[in-house]
Structure 1
Amino acid sequence: MPLKPEAQVIVDLASAAFPALGTEVLDAAEARRILAARPAAQVDAIAVGRVEERSVPGPAGVERVRVRMYWPADPGADLPVVLFCHGGGFVICDLDSHDQLCRAMSNGVGAIVVSVDYRQAPENSFPAAAEDAFTVLKWIAAQAASFGGDPARIAVAGDSSGGNLAAVTALMARDHTGPSIAHQLLIYPMLDPARDTASYRENAHGYFVTDDHLRWYWEQYLASAADAENPYAAPPRATDLSGLPPAYIITAEFDPLRDEGEVYGQRLRDAGVEAVTIRYNGQFHGFFSMADNLSDAKDAADQAFSAVRRALEQP
C-alpha cells in the first residue's frame, strides 16, 4: 500500500522544510541553525504533574549531563522510571524537540520520564552519547528513591538514534551487571551503519528521512571503521543478545530503518528474549511523534505506552 493520505501530506511538507543533509548542508552546526530558525509548531503542552531540569554527574571527563524530568499527571509514590533518549541522528534535535512526546509517555506509562541531553556528534562522536545515556541510567538507579521513583522498575526508550542509545544502554547494563532494566521501547531504531537492507533500497528517497540523511548521520557519529563494528555503536554487531530486557519495537513501512528494527527483534527472540515487533503500514520514519495529526501515531503511542506500563507493573 502507498503512504496513507494523511501521512503523505505531512511527508510532503516535512521534506520541503528539512535540510538536505550531506549534500546542500555539510555542517552540523549549520543544520541546527536552520532547524532552530524555523517557526515552532504551536501546540498546547500536554499537562503533566511537573517538569524539572537537573544536571547529573557525567562520565569520565564530563562534569555534568543535563536531563529533563517529567512526573505523570496522576501522582503516586515509588513510580517506575523511563530513561528516554531523543532521536535526531546523534546530531540534531534536543530536549525541546521531544518534550511533547516525553509528556505523553509520562502520562501514558504512569512513570517518571528522564530525558537525556546527551552530547552530540560530530563535536562529540561515539561513544560520547552512549556513555552519557548509561551514566544517567546509573544515576537513576542510585537516586530514584530521592525523586519518587522505584529503582527496581526502570525502562529505557528512544526513537531513531535514540532507539539505538536505548538498545545500547540495555547492552551496557547487561555487560556491566547492572543496573537492572525491566523493558526497552525502541521506536524505529537506527541500529546498523551498513545500510544494506531491502527497506533502505525501497525507501531510500521520497519518505522524509532518506538514505542520504542516514548516511550523513552515521558519518558524523562514527569516527572510524572500527566504531561501526562496535556493538555499543551498532547493536546488531553483538554476537550474543541473550539476557537483555524484553523489547517492544515499532517500525514503519516506508522507513529505510524498517528492516533493521525487525531483524533485531527476531534476533532478540532467537536469543530467548521476549520481543514484540509492530509494523505500521502506510507510515514513515517520524510518524510516532505526530499523535495530533495522525491516527496511527495515537494508536501506536497508546499501544506502546500500555506495553511499557504492563512491563513495569509491581509484581
Structure 2
Amino acid sequence: MPLPPEWQVFVDAATAAFPELGTKVVDAAEARAFLAARPAPPAAEPVPVAAVEDWLVPGPVDAPEVPVRIYRPLDAEQTPGVVVFYHGGGFVLCNLDSHDKFCRVMANAAGALVISVDYRRAPDARFPAATADAYAVLRWVADNAEALGGDPARIAVAGDSAGGNLATVAALQARDNGGPDLVFQLLLYPMLNPACDTVSYTENATGYFTTAPQMRWYWQQYLNSPAEADDPYVNPMVADLTGLPPAHLATAEFDPLRDEGEIYGKLLREAGVPTEIQRWDGTIHGFMSMAWHLPETQRANAAAFAALRRALARTTSHSR
C-alpha cells in the first residue's frame, strides 16, 4: 500500500526540517547545529507526571558520570516497576529533551518509574562508549532501585531505533556479566545490523523521512572500523540470544529498518525468548515519538506500553 496522505504530509514536513545526512551533510556537529537552529515549535504544556528529576549517576571508568532523567508516574503502585530507557538518534543525535514527552507518556501508561539515559554520542565517543554507559546506568539502577522508590525485582529496558540497539545490548551485557535480572525488553524499530542490506533497505531507501544513506552514515559515525560489525554488542543479530528477557518489538512498514527488526524478533523466538512482533502498516521510522496527532501512533504506543505494564505486573509477588 502507498503511504497514506496524512503520513505523506508529515513526512514532507519532517524531511524539510531535517539535515540531509549521508548526502549533503557529513559532519555530526553540522547536523546538530542544523537541528538546533530550527524554529521552536509552539510551546505546549508538558505531559503531567508526578515528578521529573535530573541526576548524574556513576558511569564506566572512562566516563565517571552519566546524566539521566527520572520520571515518576502520576498513578502507580507503592513500589512500581522500573524502565531504563535509551533514546534513538542513530547514536549521534537526540538527547533527554528530544524524548521527554515520550518518557512522560510511557511512565504514566506503564505505571512505571522511567529512567532515561543520556549516553555519550558518536562520533565524539564511538563504540563501545554508548554501550558502556548503557550498562553502567542499568547496574546503578538495579543497585539503587529500592532507594529510588522502585522495585529491583522488576526492571525492564526499552529503546527506540539506536536506543533499541542499546536496550537489547544492555540485556546481553546483563546476561553475560551476572545481572541484573531483567523482566522485559521493549524494542521500537531497533537499529541492529551495520550491513544495511535487507529488502526493506531497498524498498524504503528514500522518500520516507529516514533514508538508507542516513542509516549508513550513522553507522559510520558509531563504529571505529567495519570489523566491529561482527561484535555482538554492536550487532546483536550475531549474538547468542538465549536467556534474554521477553520482548515486544514494534516495526514500521515504510522504514529501512523494518526487516532487521522483524528478523531479530524471529531470532529471539528461535532462541526461546517469548517475543511479540508488531508491524504498524502505513507508518515510518520514528513515528512513535514524533507523529503524536496520528491515530496509528496512539495505537502503537498504547500497545507497547500495555505490553510493558503487563510484563512489569507479572512478577508483582516479588515486589516489596
| TM-score of the two chains, using structure 1 as the length reference | 0.98
The corresponding residue for 2:244 is 244
Unaligned stretches of 5+ residues in structure 2: none
* Aligned equivalents of 1:282, 1:23: Cα separation in 2: 26
* Aligned equivalents of 2:40, 2:285: Cα separation in 1: 20
Residues 246-305 of structure 1 deviation map (CA, whole Å, 9 limit, x = unaligned): 000000000000000000000110111100000001111011113531100000111110
For residues 218-257 of structure 1, the aligned pairs below 5 Å read 218-238=219-239, 240-257=240-257
* Aligned equivalents of 1:232, 1:172: Cα separation in 2: 8
1:96 positional shift: 0.3
Letter in 2 for 1:303: A
The corresponding residue for 2:78 is 77
The corresponding residue for 2:297 is 297
Percent sequence identity over aligned pairs:
59
For residues 1-315 of structure 1, the aligned pairs below 5 Å read 1-42=1-42, 43-238=44-239, 240-290=240-290, 292-313=292-313, 314-315=316-317
Unaligned stretches of 5+ residues in structure 1: none
1:6 positional shift: 1.6
Q: Which moved more, 1:19-28 or 1:255-264?
A: 19-28
8 Å Cα contact 1:49/1:75 also seen in 2? no
* Aligned equivalents of 1:291, 1:24: Cα separation in 2: 26
1:61 positional shift: 1.7
Letter in 1 for 2:219: W
8 Å Cα contact 2:49/2:104 also seen in 1? yes
8 Å Cα contact 1:4/1:282 also seen in 2? yes
* Aligned equivalents of 1:106, 1:158: Cα separation in 2: 14
* Aligned equivalents of 1:40, 1:97: Cα separation in 2: 12
1:104 positional shift: 0.4
**Number of positions where the alignment pairs a residue of Structure 1 with one of Structure 2:** 314
- Secondary structure at 1:292's aligned position in 2? coil
1:75 positional shift: 4.6
- Secondary structure at 1:181's aligned position in 2? coil
- Secondary structure at 1:107's aligned position in 2? helix
* Aligned equivalents of 2:41, 2:277: Cα separation in 1: 31
Residues 96-122 of structure 1 deviation map (CA, whole Å, 9 limit, x = unaligned): 000000000000100010000000000
* Aligned equivalents of 2:265, 2:40: Cα separation in 1: 35
Q: Over aligned residues, Cα RMSD in angstroms?
A: 0.9
* Aligned equivalents of 2:108, 2:270: Cα separation in 1: 33
* Aligned equivalents of 2:286, 2:143: Cα separation in 1: 33
* Aligned equivalents of 1:205, 1:131: Cα separation in 2: 32
- Secondary structure at 1:149's aligned position in 2? coil
- Secondary structure at 1:152's aligned position in 2? coil
* Aligned equivalents of 2:260, 2:235: Cα separation in 1: 11
* Aligned equivalents of 1:290, 1:106: Cα separation in 2: 17
* Aligned equivalents of 2:232, 2:176: Cα separation in 1: 11
Where has structure 1 moved over 2 Å in runs of 4 or more?
A: 39-44
* Aligned equivalents of 1:76, 1:273: Cα separation in 2: 28
1:44 positional shift: 2.4
Letter in 1 for 2:82: V
8 Å Cα contact 1:287/1:294 also seen in 2? no
* Aligned equivalents of 2:262, 2:127: Cα separation in 1: 24
* Aligned equivalents of 1:77, 1:5: Cα separation in 2: 45
